[in-house]
Amino acid sequence: MRILYIHQYFKTPQEPGGTRSYWIAKELINSGHEVVMLTTSSKINCKKSVQLIDGIKVIYLKVLYEQEMSILARLKSFASFMIKASIESFKADNIDMVIATSTPLTIGLPALLLKKIKGIPYVFEVRDLWPEVPIQMGGLKNPIVIKLANWFEETIYRNAEHIVALSPGMAKGVISKHVPEKKVTMIPNMSKGDEFWPREKNYELALKLGLKSKSFKVIHFGSLGIANGASTIIESAKLLLGNEKIEFVFLGGGSTEASLIHLCKIHALTNVHFLGAFPMDETSEIVNMCDVSVVSFLDLPILYTNSPNKLFDSLSAGKPILVNSAGWTKDLVETHQCGYYVNPNKPIEMAEKIAFLEENPEVVKKLGLQSRKIAEERFDKSILCQQFAQMVKDLHIDKYV
């Protein structure tokens, strides 16, 4: 089949960011399909650029998007891509199926139009439960807009040939919208064992980055958006300021990064370091030199359904994981004994767990081994990408062609 894959934030392994769509596209190609990726870039010097990347035909549309954007600016970016992608998708020839992956929910409109006008079926991938996420976060308040957004969500779900959800909570959220359970498959985010893995620590790199060579390092890597609620990590760092053995490392960026840095300056937190964004190979090297990974989110029920990339990369890296979201991630680290849950409203809990781990290297080693084990046996990309490709095969889309 010729598959049109629509993802606004498509990234390759050479770029900072999540690479799920890249690996799924590669597996679909290995299964005999042709994949055309429709995405965005703010770096191209023209309205449209077409590139062949590792067998994937990638169509870049010029749409500005940055992690530092306000909610309003993001909504404008979403709308811009929705319109441009809708127009571009109709130019693609001989498309047999569409895969549209959120966020945002607006990514579903091009797929819906192709279904209604050309009869092309689509699979919709739910990475966040929109519009409930922006509603609970206060980004959507107008009751009329909320009603329209909920109607649009249900319309996208109802017209999809199949829906992929990235966590059990997301799957339940989709099914609650009157979607048959048999129409939903849960395929979580994936571990990348060949990109993140345990190995000797690079102490020279630590010094180069302004870190202590052999301190106990706690890392948060990835987005620093409002939803991440990373200020609770800063509060924990304040409580541990007197322990010179412990350092906090932030990789990535986002809309709250500047305020977090300002907060550290106010409290003279010399134990917190913001290093910025790095390509995948360097990110892997920095994560490897750290001892514990923190996965942080605001204490909102809708965010309990999350399936964050950083969690699965941390599993691959063989790191103990501290999560503060009382949902699937809490169940995962507790069930598989690869980390701990800490209350996001009680920074002392995170501080105490970090201090405990720093004092007990044998526990760090044990939890890390469990992380790597579950990454390899359950969440590796080779397993989950094959599951996705099999799901596509089982749909028998060829009946539409």
Common-topology check for domains 2-190+380-400 and 203-377: yes
Amino acid at 157: Y
Buried b or exposed e, range 293-329, using 16+ CB within 10 angstroms: bbbbbbebebbbbbbbbbbbbbbbbbbbbbbbbbbbb
Please check whether the domain covering 203-377 is classified as CATH 3.30.230.10: no
pLDDT value for 71: 67
Fold of 2-190+380-400: Rossmann fold (3.40.50)
Instruction: Calculate the alpha carbon distances from 52 to 18, 34, 57, 94, 177 in Å.
Output: 19, 12, 5, 18, 38
Give the tens place of pLDDT for each residue, 149-173: 999 999 999 999 999 999 999 999 9
pLDDT below 70 — which residues of the chain?
67-68, 70-71, 398-401
Q: Rounded to the nearest 5°, which phi and psi values hold at 79?
A: -65, -40
Q: How far apart (Å, rounded) are the C-alpha atoms in residues 4 and 211?
A: 44
Buried b or exposed e, range 163-178, using 16+ CB within 10 angstroms: bbbbbbbbbebbbeee
Question: Is the separation of the CB atoms in 314 and 191 below 8 Å?
Answer: no
Q: How far apart (Å, rounded) are the C-alpha atoms in residues 209 and 228?
A: 24
Domain ranges within the chain, ordered by starting residue: 2-190+380-400, 203-377
